[in-house]
Amino acid sequence: MKITDAKVFVGGPKKNYVTLKIITDQGVYGLGDATLNNRETLPAKYLQDFLIPNLIGMDPRNSEDIWQFLYRGAYFRGGPIAMAAYGAIDMALWDIKGKLANMPLYQLFGGKSRDGAMVYAHATGADLEDLMDSIAQYVEEGYKAIRVQCGIPGMPTASYAVPEKKGSAQNYITDYTGIRPKVEIWDTDKYMRYMPGALAEIRDRFGPDVHILHDVHHRLLPREAAEFAKAVEPVRLFWMEDPTPAENQDALRLIRQHSTTPIAIGEVFNSIWDCNKLIENELIDFIRLAATYAGGITPLKRIVDLAGLHNVRTGFHGAPSHSPISMAAQHHLNAWAPNFGVQEYLVLGTPECDALFPSEHRMENGMVYVSDAPGLGVDFDEAEAARYTYAPGSHPVVRLEDGTMWNY
């Protein structure tokens, strides 16, 4: 069996999805997602110029060897652009394998460990009252887990994932007016003084059962993160996400030594080498890589297994930048993983998105039910795809009030 061709498409409804289609000599094709948010053309170019010409003629069933060929063979290993491109290839090869076996992928991993996988939604508000309305709406819709972000009084601009105006619920961050980013101004002191109290009010209002998550989005230093984690302990967060940049994996010790608030990290990681110490030293509770940026199902599954040895559960990234193809890869991993925690999932279910990526994965009452179709269980309509083109966009950058660059 041989790969005979592969095509890359960039575009989608209000998103620049990068979709790979690998075609074989036996009429079976596989789909992959290489969407690297706000840098979408780069994995697409890497696929077109270097990777696809190498794939032609290979046996698509050897997905492990092909992954090793891509990763080791590049000599310059890893990085988000390359790993997103490998991720798309790996997903497509697993899709082909599932179709050949006539089985949904979760069966090839070891079958289902649960019926449905809990997801979390994003509630957001220009201020706390606005956020409370947004949370109430998700509770009403049956969500069991909700991430909460709100504007901070006195902050010079809206901060991460928070709308500028009340009631706009416009939390998403990519601005498609061009590649030059807007600037958010950040003030750690104002955040530290306000946010723990706001989280406590949310817990009081919604009671003990709803899982509350909060994304600090890399804004704190390790000592500040430790103070924050300690202050919010009574709220019993499901998790505190990205409290501090984790490039220095040892920095997480400080937070751990001072608090029992669960920590979720990993959405910007590309490899097991970015998180192995965090996992082995049990410095985190949830691992957040995505099938795309981690380089596909093959390496992500290895990370899930390592995490399982150390009581770390999964909480894969699922921002709207991921297409339904990589989300499907994650639905299958979530159905199988013995150490599943939660899945971030923002309902993309617009008629346009469903028409571009038809599938039978189902979302109900805050749970995802994986499809039983062979492979990934999601298709791609090329005629629909022809309606879309690439639209340059950027998420903001962050500066302190004196102009110093900070972490987005």
Residues with a catalytic annotation lie at 160, 217
To the nearest whole angstrom, how small is the minimum distance from the Cβ of residue 202 to ligand GCO? 18
Is beta strand 313-314 parallel, antiparallel or unpaired with respect to 211-215?
unpaired
Give the residue with the Cβ less far from ligand GCO, 70 or 291.
Answer: 291
Residue in 99, 217, 331, 361 binding ligand GCO, rule: CB under 6 A? 217
User: Under a CB-based contact definition with an 8 Å cutoff, are residues 151 and 158 in contact?
Assistant: yes
344 binds ligand GCO (CB under 6 A): yes
- Show Cβ contacts of residue 312 under 8 Å, excluding neighbours closer than 6 positions: 279, 282, 284, 285, 286, 287, 339
- The dihedral through the CA atoms of 148, 153, 155, 158 has a sign that is positive
Query: What is the C-alpha separation between 294 and 110, in angstroms, rounded?
Result: 21
To the nearest whole angstrom, how small is the minimum distance from the Cβ of residue 259 to ligand GCO? 20
Query: What is the C-alpha separation between 299 and 161, in angstroms, rounded?
Result: 29
32 DSSP β-pair partners:
20
224 binds ligand GCO (CB under 6 A): no
267 binds ligand GCO (CB under 6 A): yes
Give the residue with the Cβ less far from Mg ion, 3 or 265.
Answer: 265
Query: What is the C-alpha separation between 171 and 226, in angstroms, rounded?
Result: 27
Residue in 33, 215, 227, 285 binding Mg ion, rule: CB under 5 A? 215
Give the residue with the Cβ less far from ligand GCO, 3 or 199.
Answer: 199
The site that binds Mg ion (CB under 5 A) totals a number of residues, namely 1
Q: Name which of ligand GCO, Mg ion, none residue 33 binds, using a CB cut-off of 5 to 8 Å depending on partner kind.
A: none
φ, ψ at 29 (rounded to 5°): -125, 160
Q: Name which of Mg ion, ligand GCO, none residue 384 binds, using a CB cut-off of 5 to 8 Å depending on partner kind.
A: none
To the nearest whole angstrom, how small is the minimum distance from the Cβ of residue 231 to Mg ion? 20
Give the residue with the Cβ less far from ligand GCO, 216 or 303.
Answer: 216
Q: Name which of ligand GCO, Mg ion, none residue 99 binds, using a CB cut-off of 5 to 8 Å depending on partner kind.
A: none
User: Under a CB-based contact definition with an 8 Å cutoff, are residues 188 and 224 in contact?
Assistant: yes
Query: What is the C-alpha separation between 371 and 159, in angstroms, rounded?
Result: 37
Straight-line distance from the first to the last Cα atom of the chain, in angstroms, rounded to the nearest whole number:
45
Q: Name which of ligand GCO, Mg ion, none residue 124 binds, using a CB cut-off of 5 to 8 Å depending on partner kind.
A: none
42 binds ligand GCO (CB under 6 A): no
40 binds Mg ion (CB under 5 A): no
Question: Which range of residues in 106-114, 184-192, 211-219, 230-238 is near Mg ion by CB under 5 A?
Answer: 211-219
- Show Cβ contacts of residue 172 under 8 Å, excluding neighbours closer than 6 positions: 161, 320
Cα separation values, 135 from 27, 125, 194, 241, Å: 47, 9, 18, 18
To the nearest whole angstrom, how small is the minimum distance from the Cβ of residue 146 to ligand GCO? 13
Q: What are the helix (H) ranges across 47-127?
A: 52-55, 63-73, 80-101, 105-109
Q: What are the helix (H) ranges across 232-323?
A: 252-258, 276-280, 297-309
Give the residue with the Cβ less far from ligand GCO, 97 or 214.
Answer: 214
Query: What is the C-alpha separation between 269 and 245, in angstroms, rounded?
Result: 11
Give the residue with the Cβ less far from Mg ion, 46 or 186.
Answer: 186
Give the residue with the Cβ less far from ligand GCO, 97 or 395.
Answer: 395
Residue in 321, 326, 371, 394 binding ligand GCO, rule: CB under 6 A? 321
Q: Name which of Mg ion, ligand GCO, none residue 187 binds, using a CB cut-off of 5 to 8 Å depending on partner kind.
A: none
In single-letter form, the type of residue at position 60 comes to P
343 binds ligand GCO (CB under 6 A): no
| Torsion on CA atoms 246, 338, 303, 3, rounded to nearest 10 | -140
Q: Which of residues 142-201 bind ligand GCO (CB under 6 A)?
A: 161, 173
319 binds ligand GCO (CB under 6 A): yes
The site that binds ligand GCO (CB under 6 A) totals a number of residues, namely 11
The residues binding ligand GCO (CB under 6 A) are 37, 161, 173, 215, 217, 267, 317, 319, 321, 344, 395
Contact set with Mg ion (CB under 5 A): 215
